Structure 1
């Protein structure tokens, strides 16, 4: 048996760019541009109607795809640190009224769930913010009665998470009070972090110095499990699993506790693969069942504790936004880390898609 091998070398930047007929690398690197476009919309006055409001709550209604994941990551990080409830719902709740803000986000302007959420929130007098294409039934439902964030930067749908992330942050900054506004970072700061990661992950960079290529190389030839040691880390891991599907990688993402409880199964499978007396790698090729490698989204401040916790997994890889020695304890760095890891996973998936193989 001969296993498929990559079609391109990860270090061959020219070949990767030439093979990228869909523009997937450029699209994956546009996270910073999407965040800046949202900031530009704020400066154009899109959210002026929210300035000075003291909302009873902010409710986020999302469709399928990246909008829901972006809201989940942000909510996991910041919901407990602001002065009002921030919650996600499948539709506009019955109790929503003039004291609330409803953010409706999604890729499909014809999604009846989003259209109904906008119509219901408007009729109940809530302030409504829509992050979706300004067209179709959604445009009719909005009808000039909402703050509309239509896409200003065109990317592949799979790379839209940071736009939704930025729109929700923009809403929180618009209504922020002096007591907790510092908990919500400026969008320019996050855009800089996203752009810096895209620069590190550029096609011309060598694997050793390129975080996305390095991550892709460590995923080759493995069955992949993604997880995180925090609620936001788990959501980022789930985004990674979704991104890797576009690269043809069947991956799973789960809570760290569930992954740790499966450690015995992973070790048993690894033992069977390496100790079979009937399998000769030179004659038979690689094992039909590739080994499992676990990737854990974590922060530098939690690195040692996470290493001790996950050592039972054996083949485990910690994924950090930065390897620099620094204290990461405030919310601002945590949100920056989320932005960096989302961008890196998108670029990793892009490289795996382009090089082919397993």
Structure 2
């Protein structure tokens, strides 16, 4: 049942004590002096990652909303915080995003199923953020979308870095006009009366030497300052994902027995109403010997609302094939405490029509379908 978690813990135990071998050796004073001098020539500067190491340096972060509206303090919603350089897994979630004032500029009118994750392990750093039913008012302009998601990966291929990422938007509407999302990078819509701009699928990336970095914003709204040269009156980013990695001089060792993680967000067709969406967000895995993750589910057909309150298990789900995983836990369902099982499968990119999501509450299947939008990502240990 817990084979993935057990294997990860065994690997940690095997790695202890490696450095003690050198302490059991002896040498002549002259040889030790020469050896120390040579080592000092190749020592890495303090705070940097030694390029002779086989461990990558990780970085990543994701958040659902970040709003900068002077003189207000920056506003963030569902922020993972920065990933440590040693890697790890971080998550943030919120089933209901309440209205948030942006001062005289406008307001975030609300949103649902806010989800963010950042994971660094093996040879890759990956981050993603998603949100449903978002509504925003800035400078008299209304902006709304059924779904917004960004994801980005920075990974080492051998000793060389590569980066990739993108976004997924559904039913973007600006001032009651539907926007045709082209899928192109940095698609920009100008707001009326030179009030500002809306960037869609905003991307920036670079690869330099052994380091690679990438940022993706599903949506980036800027409200212009009427004073020439003045700072923007508002800068609002929706669904931001960042990842970068510094590759070692030699590839990291193969760690095929380590446990994996699964993350994802999106929607399926509501099982109670074929014309409605059922939005979800899920994360599952084992972090530092404890189960990790979250679950959120909102069926717009029958208004079923599920908010995970704890993760109690994570394992393979063979019914969905080799890339199937299940996350177990407790959840608040309309004020009652239920047990949940969230089953997912990562069977291709971008996820729509190939990835799967299934939800059981107290053992009863509530929903099961292929994704109509969004993506599931299985974060497997990589062998190089």
> Structure 1 length normalisation: TM-score?
0.28
Larger relative helix fraction: 1
Larger radius of gyration: 2
Q: Which has the higher strand share?
A: 2
Choose between structure 1 and 2 for higher RCO, CA contacts under 8 A separated by at least 6 residues.
1
